[in-house]
Chains A and B, each alone.
Chain A
């Protein structure tokens, strides 16, 4: 059954996004903590030594890190992996039900919507993510549209 293949593929992706989500959530937390520590260090330097070179340098590094993160949504994008895990898991729950009811068209459109969401939400520069999305789309074309990939 086509929908069973699609569901199995999404389940594989859920496991992958779960691992990646955990890793990047920790990384995001570490980076956000790092620039908070820099800010705190700058404030302590200001209190102890006044507006010296150390205060200015720590403040500038902390501020630059925070600004870059905010401007390019770096750590925010990393937390998207765990959001996508939620999206995929819920899509699988609905697809399984639709498939069980014989609503194959609905199951297929739920798959398509999930893949579109993953593609829209992930950053395009990570080769493993790009490859994962390409595999999902190729599977869809091959199994649903019957096109060679």
Chain B
């Protein structure tokens, strides 16, 4: 289980399911809204995936990648332009079709004890938006339908990973049933991995990668039960990031996560140890 080699002939998939409801408009400690911060982390994650899979001849399609955005009454591909037609795309198509390349400024040490501004290119694929309710069940359903097709076409591949980010409760019914169905989808290498991240600006103690539901409220427990167990090969990267208590008993789940935990969640969730 979860041991298939990831290669161009046998790629894996990452599907990001992102809450774009009205409450994602709230500001975080970084002064950005939750929607903007998550969009930045997602765009950076996509860029890092592209870099990780780039060799001398170009980008190797080790992964198919998709984004589903949901908010108000709509559930749609989170990509626009040439990528908006379907949910999952080979990584080389992602690399070739950013919406735009922004120039951003970051502060770096100047080598003399100070900091200087440095311009950096930042490709944008996913736009931050936020409006309306939280049709989580419909989003999960769209994800399941896209992944059934993907698993049919890649029966021996490492199974797809779904990274779901939300800040609130579903407004279109209990998502447990469709989350169960989503986790039951499988290839010959194992079941789909569903990682849930709840983000919050309300303070409170964040719970990241818990092994039990201790300290969680009802909504936290619901998301915990929707989440897959921690894959063994990701335990070590999580420990390296400082999550010492992670074990294979833990769930890949974060609750009331702040900005640091959001970055770590995306980083650890998109690690792949068995690239060829």
Contacts and interface: CB of A to CB of B under 8 A. Distances in A.
Contacts of B212: none
A97 interface: yes
Given A94-B181, A97-B181, A117 B145 contact: no
A83 B155 contact: yes
B197 interface: no
Chain B contact surface mostly = helix
A101 interface: yes
Nearest to A96: B181
B177 A117 contact: no
A32 to B, nearest CB: 15
B84 to A, nearest CB: 24
A97 B138 CA distance: 12
A87 B145 contact: no
A117 B178 CA distance: 23
Interface in A95-125: 96-97, 100-101, 117
A134 to B, nearest CB: 22
Contact of B152 (A86, A96, A100): A86
A48 interface: no
Contact of B188 (A82, A91, A94): A82
B187 interface: yes
B185 A93 contact: yes
A89 interface: yes
Interface of B: 141, 144-145, 148, 151-152, 155-156, 177-178, 180-181, 184-188
